[in-house]
């Protein structure tokens, strides 16, 4: 019984086949990295897993629930940090997080407590009552991270978790994600950042043309891994390099 189960998922937009016969499972305790080039189908997969769009084919289950038909259950047990989304410009972080807590059925004392904790942890205590429109991109990202974890979800989907964060906060967030997954939760991270995936993920799936082309176990916290010496970057380039990219000159050729 996986925390996330995707079986034969297919999704097209008109003539564009974004995801084709995709299957994978993520267990509790895993920090799973979803790696792939632009247009590989990562966002489309996350959108089906979070009930934002319906699959054309196959099944998706999050905590044994169908996110498209049971969105309320999903909302209470799942956290989402969507791609390139900002908190509402006309609200302050405190107001927005109160709203998120309300939607997720948290009592207001817990919301205040967790808001204060997160603001302290990520260093935005002095911005809690400032309108989002007056916050920097990085400060807005901190609020988005907070909303994803506010209700201590069992499963979290995060698109580019470290976008716009300074190196110090990046380190804190990376450590938090590792410890959160280790606490019997499933953390699913979509990213282009191969180094970060290699550093924090327990397992990665490499996506190309709407399918997982390979999966790899990494060292993670337990020092495990699948004993493969090839770097993740090498595996990535090998598996997703397109015909077009192969035709491009190498950097050495350009220098010459
Ligand atoms: N709303 C849409 N209408 C039409 N085509 C779409 C739509 N959304 C995505 N696509 C197409 O589906 C394919 C997969 O897109 P998707 O956004 O899932 O990729 P991605 O892996 O998240 O890419 P990126 O890393 O660039 O964010 C692409 O070819 C894209 O152009």
CATH number, domain containing residue 216: 3.40.50.300
Examine the pLDDT at 217 and tell me if it is beyond 70. Answer: yes
155 CA distance to ligand 1 middle (Å): 23
pLDDT at residue number 223: 47
* Domain residue limits at 34: 4-255
- Provide residues with CB under 6 Å of ligand 1: 13, 16, 18, 36, 38-44
Other C-beta atoms lying within 10 Å of the C-beta of residue 239? 16
**What gap in Å lies between CA 67 and CA 63, rounded to an integer?**
9
Q: How many CB atoms lie within 10 A of CB 195?
A: 11
Q: Name which residue sits closest to atom 3 of ligand 1, judged by CA.
A: 13
Angle separating helix axes 137-149 and 167-182, nearest 10 degrees: 10
Atom of ligand 1 nearest to the CA of 37: 25
Lowest-pLDDT range of 26-35, 83-92, 128-137:
83-92
Q: Looking at residue 234, what is its pLDDT?
A: 84
Look at phi and psi of residue 65 and say left if phi exceeds 0, alpha if psi is from -120 to 50, else beta. Answer: beta
User: What digits encode the pLDDT tens for the residues 171-187?
Assistant: 999 999 999 999 999 99
Tell me the pTM: 0.89
| Interface predicted TM-score (ipTM) of this complex, two decimals | 0.97
First to last CA, the chain: 55
Which residue is closest in CA terms to ligand 1's atom 17? 43
Which residues are registered as beta bridge partners of 204? Answer: 33, 216
Q: What is the pLDDT of residue 248?
A: 58
Number of domains in the chain: 1
């Amino acid at each position: 019984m996986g925390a996330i189960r995707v079986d034969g998922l297919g999704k097209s937009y008109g003539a564009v086949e974004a995801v084709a016969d995709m299957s994978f499972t993520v267990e509790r305790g895993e920090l799973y990295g979803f790696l792939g080039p632009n247009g590989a189908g990562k966002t489309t997969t996350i959108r089906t897993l979070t009930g934002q769009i319906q699959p054309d084919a196959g099944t998706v289950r999050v905590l044994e629930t169908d996110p498209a038909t049971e969105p309320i259950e999903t909302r209470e047990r799942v956290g989402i940090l969507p791609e390139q989304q900002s908190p509402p410009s006309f609200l302050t972080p405190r107001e927005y997080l109160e709203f998120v807590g309300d939607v997720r059925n948290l009592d207001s004392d817990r919301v205040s407590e967790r808001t204060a904790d997160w603001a302290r942890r990520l260093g935005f205590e002095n911005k809690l009552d400032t309108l989002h429109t007056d916050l920097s991109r990085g400060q807005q990202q901190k609020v988005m991270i907070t909303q994803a974890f506010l209700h201590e979800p069992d499963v979290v989907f995060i698109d580019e978790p470290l976008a716009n964060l300074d190196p110090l906060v990046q380190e804190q967030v990376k450590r938090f994600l590792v410890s959160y997954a280790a606490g019997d939760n499933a953390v699913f991270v979509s990213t282009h950042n191969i180094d970060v995936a290699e550093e924090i993920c327990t397992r990665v799936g490499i996506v190309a043309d709407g399918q997982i082309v390979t999966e790899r176990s990494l060292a993670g916290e337990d020092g495990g891994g699948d004993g493969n010496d090839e770097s993740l970057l090498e595996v990535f380039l090998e598996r997703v390099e397109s015909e077009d990219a192969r035709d491009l000159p190498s950097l050495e050729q350009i220098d010459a």
